[in-house]
Copies of this chain bind each other. A is one copy, B any other.
Amino acid sequence: MLHTLPFDISSLHAAYAQGLDPAAVMEEAHRRIGAAGDPGIFLHVLEPAALQAQLAQLGAFDPDSKPLWGIPFAIKDNIDAAGEPTTAGCPAYAYEAGADAFVVGVLRAAGAILIGKTNLDQFATGLVGVRTPFPVPLNALDPAIVPGGSSSGSAVAVAHGIVSFSLGTDTAGSGRVPAALNGIVGLKPTLGALSATGVVPACRTLDTISIFALTVGDAYKVFAAAAVFDPADSYARPLVLAESPVAAPTFRVGVPDTASRRFFGDAVQAASFDATLESLRERGAEIVELDFGPLYAIAEMLYDGVWVAERYTVIEALLREQPEAVLPVTRAIIQRAEKFSAADAFRGFYRLQDLRREALAVADAVDLLCVPSIPTFCTVAELEADPVGPNSRLGTYTNFVNLLDMCAIAVPVRTRADGRPGSVTLIAGRGEDARIAAVAAVLQQDCAAPLGATGWPLPQAADVLPVANRDEIALAVVG
């Protein structure tokens, strides 16, 4: 029954091994777009000819040489696909891409099939997903709450099971907040691991492509395929995975101490976080309470500080020539850059450097950090009343990560007592991507978290080992 076939990679590959035609899977993906009944998810769906051209390149089913053979995916509309429009959520900015973004090309070469381009907070500026001139995508689990952004459409498409995975981008949390709000996985790689060639920048020094999937295993599989060094991207860095072992059977997980937990009155979220830490303890984690003050101080620098000038460099001409083409809320944020001088920029870097020392001293005391992915939820109605405050709150636990050159993964955990999705984010230093993915995979299994809005069962991950040491778990998840 194709209509009910789960689109996680294992299920699809099992079906392909049995002879399923990938063209039928693409048709089913289109059917699911219609079934979702939400015109806000996709800004552009590829024409049949463009789909057919990709299928023609596949060759015989061969998941060894093409680990993503026949896997449908979508990309945020600030990422280029050859011959397709890129809007970055702003029609006045739109252009037809001459070539695939580097990562899109790599994924297609690995057998993945692009089916469309997804909605976003304009210019990837926002964490809510409603700052778009197009129809607003609806949260896949509860239309009353915001879908999260800026990678809204990409997250919702995965949560509905329309595609197996999708690409977002993440500067302040755009690849993690929408994952939490839609009950899926959001993998935010180490900066520079995924090429930025062919991506409309937000803050070029802090951006990365991110990956949404239903399971940690799928997200990591896509990441491993995509992490190819691109010499043409000046900010690309070869990914060197960390090797230092964690002593089995315990590992140290740093969490905000009582004084630095922020839930804005959401006691259900607080209880959900505590329950998740208990699950980690049962797997051998030693929970270490830390003062997150230095991390929050860094987080506040991102939107209040000089980095907004990076966004300004992207649309300076547009702001001057057609300011009305930019959404008022987005324009107000980005035009703040005009008040900052180059001297202010350097003062910001000095302050960041000082705060980094403090924050890394905190983080170095543990093997990884675990935080709530979001402090609380935000309804569409709340956001209409105040378009900025709730947006800022959503970034509480995400804003500091890229400024600290850390990697992160948002993972679904037990559904909260009120039925809303649970999510925590694991965070570690540059290059520790495999290690936090391994812990996240265990956590997803242990919590038997639902897979977005699909109702599909969590695949039994034969390749997830108990957390033992960094090398072993890295291998386990990569495999």
Contacts and interface: CB of A to CB of B under 8 A. Distances in A.
A343 B335 CA distance: 11
A343 B337 contact: yes
A110 to B, nearest CB: 26
A11 interface: no
Nearest to A231: B357
Interface stretch (A283-291, A346-354, A400-408, A454-462): A346-354
Contact of A234 (B205, B306, B346, B356): B356
B309 A349 contact: no
Contact of A346 (B235, B343, B345, B353): B345
Contacts of A356: 234
Interface residues of A, number: 28
Interface stretch (A47-55, A58-66, A310-318, A383-391): A310-318
Tell me the dominant secondary structure on chain A's binding face: helix
Nearest to A205: B349
A316 B347 CA distance: 12
Contacts of A235: 353
Nearest to A348: B342
Given A234-B356, A353-B234, A357-B231, A346 B205 contact: yes
A302 to B, nearest CB: 14
Contact of A347 (B234, B313, B350): B313
A266 interface: no
B312 A343 contact: yes
A10 interface: no
Interface in A297-350: 306, 309-310, 312-313, 316, 337-338, 340-350
A190 to B, nearest CB: 17
Given A338-B341, A341-B341, A346 B309 contact: yes
29 contacts: A204-B346, A204-B350, A205-B346, A205-B349, A234-B350, A234-B353, A234-B354, A234-B356, A234-B357, A235-B353, A306-B342, A309-B341, A309-B342, A309-B343, A309-B345, A310-B343, A312-B342, A312-B343, A313-B347, A313-B350, A316-B343, A337-B341, A337-B342, A338-B341, A340-B342, A341-B342, A342-B344, A342-B345, A345-B345
